Amino acid sequence: MKLISGVLDFDHVVAAIQKGQRLVISADESLLSKLPKGNWLGGTTPYFMAASGGTFSKDRAFVQELSPMATDLRFSWYSDATISSVYNDASENGFSFILIPAFAKIHLTFGLKAPEFGNFGVRPLVGWVAGTQLENLGVVAAKVYNGQTLESKSDEAIVLHATLPESHFADVNIVNIFETSNSQDELEFLTDGFEVERVKVSGKQRDFAGYIAEKKADIRWPLVGDYGGASVNLSFAGIDGGKVKLLAPVFAGVKYRLASPAGDYNAYLKAFQAKMSGFEKQEVGFSCNCVLNYKHGDLHGKIIPELHGPFVFGEIAYQLLNQTAVVMTICPR
Amino acid sequence: MKVPSANDPRWAKLLLQGGQQSFEFLALNMVFTRVVIAAKRDTSKENLSKLTQELREVFEKNAHNAKVVKDLERIFSAGGN
């Protein structure tokens, strides 16, 4: 049986909910707020990578159906005060799916503190940060939904905990198309945070905003954290006076470099295709991509065949990251 | 390969020798980077023991994943550490 994973109009979303299908629904608030009760959770974003290409739509939704192997579904709200137990509450063998409203306090807390929470790295957590039409970011609040109760919130995260049979497990992967060059300076930050003033450049302290200006760095491209075998991207939100604002936090002690420019759509397509090879033979349980890849890669109307899902405002693969695609596969043991 | 016990001295060596490891399993890269930074800040026996528990648990609880098996063998097989 083929699971739903694609763009549906309102009537088809309603029909899928009424059939009892278990769904993750990405759509504009105007659509999500009209859906009936059912086994679904949702978050606001009007941007999707559909089979027909990058799409902006307020009257259609990107719908992902959960694997039939997922059982014992538990929907829970998490506040800024309770998010620290999100991994502890997960099933021993399963996965958890989280949707967080952008710029809520819980977004910042999760971004900064998740790696210290109990069972981080032990129990798989994937998901994304909900947003709005890019022009309305910070003006219109992002929302996340519990379809079982039809509650929506702008200040809490909705989490779906699911259990998998002993025969299978969830594997979380990131697809990062950005590269760094050893000729780029190695950067370290003095404190953890979403806002940065000081940086150590190859061991020497200075102001980060001045460094970016001096290097004529294009802040459409992310900062890339060196996590050994994984590169973790953080996007620039802007520079305000002497403060460099980021969409995910830097961590003191981690080494960063500015990403090399990603190029145009063709470069994005080539990079994603190269990095997505291998997933086509697996059961993809969930995928999403960053709205900044949609924007800066000029992906509207363009196809990335291997990678369908919502474009979102922060990706979660265990921890918060940016300008990255996240893919969760369900694998046999 | 079995995950070494928490009192195996190779864990402390791994934590203190720094962040030159590259794992196939995503979460190991994240956890390892963090525990190595934490070990540099506080090299006390108690802290290293706590960090070892955290790191060991990621290996142990994900031992069904072929990527983790490979990472474990590379790190702890003869000559690996």
Q: Which amino acid is at A89?
A: D
What is d(CA A267, CA A227) in angstroms, rounded to the nearest whole number? 24
What is d(CA A80, CA A106) in angstroms, rounded to the nearest whole number? 5
Q: In this structure, what token pair is assigned to residue A69?
A: 């192997």
Q: Among the three residues A230, A258, A286, which one is the final residue of a domain in this structure?
A: A258
Domain identity same for A202 and A77: no
Q: Is A182 among the domain residues?
A: no
% of chain B with per-residue pLDDT over 70? 93
Place of tokens 């370290």: A188
In chain A, the number of structural domains is 2
User: How many contacts does A have with B, using Cβ atoms within 8 A?
Assistant: 68
Q: How far is CA A303 from CA A51, A52, A55, A248, B33, in A?
A: 7, 6, 10, 27, 35
B27 closest CB neighbour out of A121, A255, A331: A121
Closest by alpha carbon to A224, among A182, A264, A268, A265? A182
Mean pLDDT in residue range B9-22: 86
Label the pairing between strands A187-189 and A198-201.
antiparallel
Domain identity same for A26 and A73: yes
Q: Among the three residues A207, A241, A258, which one is the final residue of a domain in this structure?
A: A258
Chain A: closest CA distance from residue B9 (Å)? 22
- pLDDT of B51 > 80? The answer is yes
Domain identity same for A285 and A320: yes
Domain identity same for A34 and A152: yes
Closest by alpha carbon to A98, among A27, A38, A146, A150? A146
Tell me whether A254 touches chain B (CB under 8 Å).
Answer: yes
Tell me whether A51 touches chain B (CB under 8 Å).
Answer: no
Under 8 Å between Cβ of A250 and A197: no
Place of tokens 């520079």: A239
Domain identity same for A68 and A151: yes
| Contact at CB, B22 and A120, closer than 8 angstroms | no
Chain A: closest CA distance from residue B40 (Å)? 9
What is d(CA A76, CA A123) in angstroms, rounded to the nearest whole number? 16
Domain identity same for A252 and A276: no
| Contact at CB, B22 and A229, closer than 8 angstroms | yes
Domain identity same for A192 and A84: no
Give Cβ neighbours of residue A246 (< 8 Å, ≥ 6 apart): A194, A195, A196, A223, A234, A235, A236, A237, A322
pLDDT at position B81 is: 55
B26 closest CB neighbour out of A122, A173, A255: A173
Per-residue confidence at B79, pLDDT binned at 50, 70, 90? low
For A152-170, give the DSSP string.
EESSSEEEEEEE--TTEEE
| Contact at CB, B34 and A251, closer than 8 angstroms | yes
Q: Is A139 among the domain residues?
A: yes
Place of tokens 């983790």: B68
Collapsing DSSP to helix, strand or coil, A85 comes out as: helix
**pLDDT string in tens for chain A (333-residue length):** 688 889 999 999 999 999 999 999 999 999 999 999 999 999 999 999 999 999 999 999 999 999 999 999 999 999 999 999 999 999 999 999 999 999 999 999 999 999 999 999 999 999 999 999 999 988 899 999 999 999 999 999 999 999 999 999 999 999 999 999 888 999 999 999 999 999 999 889 999 999 999 999 999 999 999 998 899 999 999 999 899 999 999 999 999 999 998 877 888 888 888 887 777 667 788 899 999 999 999 999 998 887 899 999 999 999 999 999 999 999 999
What is d(CA A320, CA A53) in angstroms, rounded to the nearest whole number? 26
Q: Is A311 among the domain residues?
A: yes
Tell me whether A227 touches chain B (CB under 8 Å).
Answer: yes
Domain identity same for A58 and A130: yes
B29 closest CB neighbour out of A169, A230, A331: A230
pLDDT at position A280 is: 67
Looking at the DSSP bridge assignments, the partners of residue A290 are A312
Domain identity same for A213 and A89: no
Label the pairing between strands A60-65 and A5-9.
antiparallel
Q: Is A180 among the domain residues?
A: no
Chain B: closest CA distance from residue A253 (Å)? 6
Domain identity same for A111 and A239: no
Instruction: For A22-54, give one letter per residue: b (16+ CB within 10 A) or e.
Output: bbbbbbbbebbeebeebebbbbbbbbbbbeeeb
Q: Among the three residues A226, A258, A290, which one is the final residue of a domain in this structure?
A: A258
Q: In this structure, what token pair is assigned to residue A122?
A: 């032990």
Q: Percent helix, strand, coil in chain A (nearest 5)?
A: 20, 45, 40
pLDDT at position A264 is: 79
Domain identity same for A10 and A35: yes
Domain that holds residue A199: 187-258
- Name the residue in chain A with its Cα closest to that of B63: A333
- Name the residue in chain B with its Cα closest to that of A253: B37
Mean pLDDT in residue range B61-72: 95
Domain identity same for A275 and A160: yes
| Contact at CB, B30 and A122, closer than 8 angstroms | no
Chain A: closest CA distance from residue B57 (Å)? 7
Tell me whether A121 touches chain B (CB under 8 Å).
Answer: yes
Which chain B residues touch A115 with a CB distance below 8 Å?
30-31, 34
Chain B: closest CA distance from residue A50 (Å)? 27
